[in-house]
């Protein structure tokens, strides 16, 4: 009986650890994809533009100003 209880508790602990690990990995992946999307949109903007992103569910606000290269050089 003690072996069955120990096995059940051990299995529950391993399942919980896997659940937490997978959840944190998914949150990191979503953050990376969100940053990549913002970067791609900013690259498409002409100089002088402003990109504002706000994600209310996450509490993240990003503001990117696209400007001319340093030194005022134009290509």
Q: Mind listing the pLDDT tens digit for each residue in 13-48?
A: 999 999 999 999 999 998 899 889 888 888 888 888
Measured distance CA(34)–CA(39) in Å, rounded? 9
Instruction: With cut-offs at 50, 70 and 90, classify the pLDDT of residue 52.
Output: confident
Give the rounded percent of residues in the chain with a pLDDT score beyond 90: 39
**How far apart are the C-alpha atoms of 12 and 54, rounded to whole Å?**
38
Regarding pTM above 0.75, the answer is no
In the chain, the percentage of residues whose pLDDT exceeds 70 is 84
CB-side neighbour CA atoms (13 Å) of 39: 6
What is the DSSP secondary structure assignment for residue 58, as one 8-state letter?
Answer: T
């Amino acid at each position: 009986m003690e072996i069955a209880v120990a096995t059940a508790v051990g299995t529950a602990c391993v399942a919980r650890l896997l659940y937490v690990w997978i959840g944190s990995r998914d949150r990191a992946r979503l953050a990376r994809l969100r940053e990549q999307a913002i970067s791609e949109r900013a690259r498409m903007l002409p100089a002088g533009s402003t990109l504002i992103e706000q994600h209310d569910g996450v509490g993240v606000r990003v503001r990117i100003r696209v400007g001319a290269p340093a030194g005022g050089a134009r290509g």
